[in-house]
Structures are given as structure tokens and as C-alpha cells.
Amino acid sequence: MSTELINGFGKIYLRISYDAANHWVFNEWIGYQTYVGIVAGADACLLPLVEHSCAYLLNDNRQVIGPWDHAVEWIVTNWAPRAIAGGLTHFANVVSAEALAATSARAMALGLEGQCQMHLFADIELAQQWLRDAQLHAQPKHT
């Protein structure tokens, strides 16, 4: 089951789904991102994180166009503390090849440093593998 958020032009700008097989929330951001849209979308992705006691987020920005630095401070100071309080520990962010979008992602990663494990990826398969590795290391060891 996924949630789709629609912008003022009637276009989907975010799909949010919980991937039960991998136990992570998957966000697929699409097109130009407004401040209002980012706030609504980021807040909407908190629900499945908390609802499924999920510590892992796969954020796919490969289809994002343009910068979204207008929301970086809000993500770092408002959204991230709530996500972390809700249990988020690992945030894999697949960045857009579009230069301005990638710059915004790097600014967010710097702002989140020390708050949770966040890594930027150009390849979604590498991001998925990083999350799987984190899950393996988080499992209790039996002696």
C-alpha cells in the first residue's frame, strides 16, 4: 500500500510506501519540490515509520528537478528530530544527478551529521545494500 501526494498542478510529487519484505519506508520524490510540498511529504512519511516501528528510510530523489535548499533547515531542525524520536536510525538518500538537487542533498547530510546514520548514494542498489547491512548489524547476536 502506498500513499501518493499530489501538487497544485495535479501531478504526483511523492510516493510513500512501506516495504515489508525489507522493513524500510521508501519515498520516491518526483519533479520540482516546493517548501510546502516537502513539509507535507516529509510529515506524511513519519506515519509509516512510526506505524511499523521502522528504523530505516530509503529516500529516492533521482527524479527531483532543481534545488530544495529552501527546506533543508526545516528538515534538519524540525523533521529529523521527530523522525529520530520515532525510531529512525538509518537514512539512505539516493540523490538526483541534477546538480542543484544533489547540492541540496549534501547540505541536508551535513546538517544531519551526528543525529542519525545518513549516506548519499548515486545508485539505488548500493543504498538498498547499505540498509540491509545496517539491519544485519543491528540484529542481536546469539552466543
Q: What is the pLDDT of residues 9-57, one digit of tens each?
A: 999 999 999 999 999 999 999 999 999 999 999 999 999 999 999 999 9
Task: Give me the CATH number covering residue 40.
Answer: 3.30.750.24
In a domain, 130, yes or no: no
Range of the domain at 77: 13-91+103-111
Do 1 and 11 touch, CB atoms closer than 8 A? Answer: no
In a domain, 121, yes or no: no
User: pLDDT per residue over 82-119, tens digit each?
Assistant: 999 999 999 999 987 766 667 777 677 676 666 677 88
Could you tell me which residues come within 8 angstroms of residue 31 by beta carbon, excluding any fewer than 6 positions away? 7, 11, 13, 63, 64, 65
Q: Please give the pLDDT value at position 57.
A: 97
Burial class from Cβ neighbours inside 10 Å (0-12, 13-18, 19+) for residue 20 reads exposed
In a domain, 60, yes or no: yes
Q: Please give the pLDDT value at position 118.
A: 82
In a domain, 125, yes or no: no
The total number of structural domains in the chain stands at 1
Instruction: Give SS3 for 2.
Output: strand
In a domain, 139, yes or no: no
In a domain, 8, yes or no: no
